[in-house]
Structure 1
Amino acid sequence: MDRQGSLTGTAERAVIGAVRGYVSAHLDGGPVCVALSGGADSLALTAGAVRAGLDVHAIVVDHGLQDGSDVVAETAAATVRRLGATAEVRRVTVDGAGGLEAAARTARYTALDMARSDRPVLLGHTLDDQAETVLLGLGRGSGGRSLAGMRPWSAPWGRPLLGIRRTQTVAACEGWGLPVWDDPHNSDPRFTRVRVRTEVLPLLEDVLASGVAEALARTADQLTADSDALDALAGDVLDRQTDEGLAVIEVAGAPSAIRTRAVRFWLQRRGIEAPSHRQVTAVDALVSDWHGQGPIAVGGDDEARLVVTRRAGVLVVERLNR
């Protein structure tokens, strides 16, 4: 066997081993879905899952953003059917706020959730994707939770390939003779993630020597463990609260990392699904820097706005008519 053949065989075994190890750690071995795009990562994951002995149903989401996307979707589905998986194509409409990337992601995950029928959904994110996610979070100043990157398991989403490099998924597909579709969006410099992938990470590898992607992925693992520990402590603080509000005396003495988490979780429990950093900081100031501030706006709709007010040492969420 030549060197290329040896590398390909190693990649195939690595993908299958990653799936088997993941199932042992996180799943019960029952039927799974795989989010399939036709690219090397999701195709290798699907093939690896079938070869690992799983009952696999592939879900191909056709975003309709490019000419011929329907052909790409049907080709991907037909490819994995030949491997022994079942497959379906879900067509979606991409619109909404937040730009093309965000709208496509929302449409994709909604379609996957609707199609999975209570089965876990495996996603083809690799170590390279994790490294890119950490860098993007760092650049945006998103905090420790964002720097922790993507979780291996966050029900119903599973990511068995977070320890596998993108070069390995490409090699595995080559070894299995699978036709890989290269999404033009993955090389389009209009997208920030693409520039991180093609410009920033290669520059870091050059300046800091090799191993940057692996180091970023290790950082994500470490921060996940740290964040989980702090989240648990913040949860303990909230468990001492009543439904009436957040008692300042219960959180005021906590370290900032725990206090702000408790504030965020409390806001989420009160119906503010994704409180921003600015909102959390302003509400936390009602606890840690109290000097008679007025209500803090945290959401609302056309009819009323939601505000947090401090009264007699208790934070409460109120609905004020516009």
Structure 2
Amino acid sequence: MRRAVREWLGAYASAGVVAVGLSGGADSLALTAAAAAEADAVDALVVDHRLQDGSEVVAAGAAAAAMRLGCRSARVLTIEVGGEGGPEAAARRARYAALDQARDGLPVLLGHTLDDQAETVLLGLGRGSGARSIRGMAEFDEPWGRPLLGVRRATTRQLCADLGVDPHEDPHNSSPEFTRVRLRTEVLPLLEDVLGGGVAPALARTAAHLREDGEVLDALAEKLLDRARDAGGLRVETLATAAPALRRRALRAWLLERGAKSLTDSNLRAVEALVTQWRGQGGVAVGGSLNGTRLVAAREHGRLILGSDRTGPARGRHH
């Protein structure tokens, strides 16, 4: 655990001062202990979602444990969780927003383990959204740091036991109504049995390989996007002659930078069809808004442009 944190600090946080997102569970408690031993200073940020009775007691206990483990400070962040997108997604959004607001410019270490990475890859495979969805979580996606992606969940529990720290067992982590819980308790054990073990590390290695490949493709796609830019739009001819993997990445980056939200594979391919399968079709609505109206991508005079549904690109024009 200490080696994993030490290597992460050496790669991404030369100043040696970090925050840690602490839930009170085994993974985040073990991470807090290792960070306190290796970093120059650690500020623990404990999020109280207020979704269960007694959550304030759990949060206070986690903050106290952080101070005993050697943190410089420990703060409890009490948040409100909405309902949009389901309970898991809503809690995640509220948690990350609270941590981002409270981190005071520091990177925030999160307790995601190799096992979490394997579950993320399986979820991505199930969605079928391409390599981006199965390359898992990054070691550092500013400001979020994940030093434990090479550490098994069993190791974090063992460290807590060795230190005499009693982690909180969140009942949500064993509730079968959550997809990730069923992956953890049903799917991965079955795969381990059928394939003879080693599945979680293999899935994590797959994520690492895809992330390395993806970084190269993203860099090439950025160059393509720069070549295709034309007065706020994109030149269709430049995109049409590019490799599909680079073209879709360039289109995705352009749409996101212009305000598109929650892009799906079908959204992206419909926009790509404006380049590669032009039949005079109208614009494609993408998630997001401009001045309160939907964003629409369309082809006009040999360019892709993005505007609002009300005032945006004209339908059916082509060149």
1:203-222 equivalence runs, <5 A: 203-222=190-209
TM-score of the pair, normalised by structure 2: 0.94
Task: Give the Cα–Cα distance (whole angstroms) in 1 for the partners of residues 253 and 23 of structure 2.
Answer: 34
Conserved 8 A contact 2:18-2:39 = no
TM-score of the pair, normalised by structure 1: 0.93
Please give the secondary structure, in 1, of the residue aligned with 2:282.
Answer: coil
Choose which of 33, 49, 54 in structure 2 pairs with 1:47.
33
The structure-2 alpha-carbon separation of the partners of 1:56 and 1:303, relative to structure 1 and needing over 3 Å to count, comes to closer
Aligned to 2:245: 257
Instruction: Measure how far apart 1:302 and its partner are.
Output: 8.6
Cα shift readout 1:279-322 (whole Å, capped 9, x = no counterpart): 11100001111111111112437953321111121011122328
CA RMSD of aligned residues (A): 1.3
Aligned to 1:321: 310
> Which deviates more, 154-163 or 135-144?
135-144
- Displaced runs of 4 or more, over 6 A: none
Task: Give the Cα–Cα distance (whole angstroms) in 2 for the partners of residues 302 and 100 of structure 1.
Answer: 29
1:1-12 equivalence runs, <5 A: none
Amino acid at match of 1:194: V
Task: Give the Cα–Cα distance (whole angstroms) in 2 for the partners of residues 185 and 218 of structure 1.
Answer: 28
Conserved 8 A contact 1:119-1:156 = yes
Equivalent pairs counted in the alignment come to 308
Aligned to 1:5: none
Cα shift readout 1:226-284 (whole Å, capped 9, x = no counterpart): 11111111100111213331101111111111111111111112221432222111000
Task: Give the Cα–Cα distance (whole angstroms) in 1 for the partners of residues 302 and 127 of structure 2.
Answer: 34
1:71 and 2:60 aligned: no
Percent identity among equivalent residues? 56
Aligned to 1:56: 42
Task: Give the Cα–Cα distance (whole angstroms) in 1 for the partners of residues 292 and 66 of structure 2.
Answer: 50
Aligned to 1:100: 87
Task: Give the Cα–Cα distance (whole angstroms) in 1 for the partners of residues 222 and 39 of structure 2.
Answer: 39
Aligned to 1:11: none
Amino acid at match of 1:44: A
Amino acid at match of 1:23: L
Task: Give the Cα–Cα distance (whole angstroms) in 2 for the partners of residues 148 and 87 of structure 1.
Answer: 33
Choose which of 108, 111, 119 in structure 1 pairs with 2:98.
111
Choose which of 93, 102, 107 in structure 2 pairs with 1:120.
107
Please give the secondary structure, in 1, of the residue aligned with 2:296.
Answer: strand
Aligned to 1:280: 268
Task: Give the Cα–Cα distance (whole angstroms) in 2 for the partners of residues 100 and 125 of structure 1.
Answer: 19
Conserved 8 A contact 1:303-1:321 = no
Please give the secondary structure, in 2, of the residue aligned with 1:298.
Answer: strand
The structure-2 alpha-carbon separation of the partners of 1:39 and 1:261, relative to structure 1 and needing over 3 Å to count, comes to same
Choose which of 225, 234, 237 in structure 1 pairs with 2:221.
234
